[in-house]
Amino acid sequence: MYLIVGLGNPGREYAATRHNVGFLVVDELARRWKVENQSWKNKFGGELAQTSIRIGTADEQIVLLKPQEFMNLSGGATQRVAAFYKIEPSHTVVIHDELDLDFGKLRVKVGGGHGGHNGLRSVSEQLGPAYMRVRCGVGKPNTKERTIGHVLGGFDKQESKDLPLMIGEAADAVETLLSQGPTVAMNKHNADKPRPA
């Protein structure tokens, strides 16, 4: 069984912001895996859905989670779900926005620090750092003072055009993690791909 966690903030006002990339990737995985809208439940402090997908020759149980207690408390719902389903950090994938990557770039990683990301800080406090991450680049503003406005702001015109491509690639990276493991996923998805003009 695997736990796939997309980080973001609840509420309509945050839905189309850079900080909510994790939610968007989980929504894309739910679409690919044909998770019905009625399958989602509000439990453990998050929106939760269960499904199963074929990995190799076996069906694997998947839990999708979008924590709903705001970014800096994301670890609470993640820990409660992991404990209930007895899912280890090594079978947990956290998808999040990443200021230290240019918009649209991806990196797959296992373990490490939180890099100042409040959602990762909260998850690591609850689970330890040994979970898998899919880091989705949202770029960095010119000054540190603009960081909050940047991550809680909407996408500009070019980003909106490129966003579906990044979301799709991030979902691909999650599927590679599940089917082939982190080493293959890092080799496959951490190379920068040319983007259409």
Nearest-5° Cα angle at 87, 177 to 104? 35
142: DSSP letter: S
119 vs 185: CA distance, rounded Å: 23
Handedness of CA 196, 27, 118, 61 (dihedral sign): negative
Query: What integer pLDDT is reported at residue 143 of this predicted model?
Result: 67
29: DSSP letter: H
Separation of first and last alpha carbons in the chain:
40
- Return the domain boundaries, the chain: 2-189
Query: What integer pLDDT is reported at residue 63 of this predicted model?
Result: 97
For 6, what's the count of Cα atoms within 13 Å in the CB-facing half-sphere? 29
Q: Tell me the pLDDT of the chain (197 aa) as tens digits.
A: 999 999 999 988 888 888 899 999 999 999 999 998 888 999 999 999 999 998 878 899 999 999 999 899 999 999 999 999 999 999 999 999 998 899 999 999 999 989 888 999 999 999 999 999 999 999 887 766 677 777 788 888 898 999 999 999 999 999 999 999 999 999 999 977 665 55
Whose structure tokens read 């995985």?
29
DSSP letters, 35-100, are --GGG-EEETTEEEEEEEEEETTEEEEEEEEEE-S-GGGHHHHHHHHHHHHT--GGGEEEEEEETT
Homologous superfamily in CATH for domain 2-189: Peptidyl-tRNA hydrolase (3.40.50.1470)
Phi, psi of 48 (to 5 degrees): -130, 140
Strand order in the sheet with 58-67: 41-43, 46-55, 58-67, 2-6, 92-98, 132-137, 106-110
Query: What integer pLDDT is reported at residue 37 of this predicted model?
Result: 85
Q: Any catalytic annotation for residue 19?
A: yes
141: DSSP letter: -
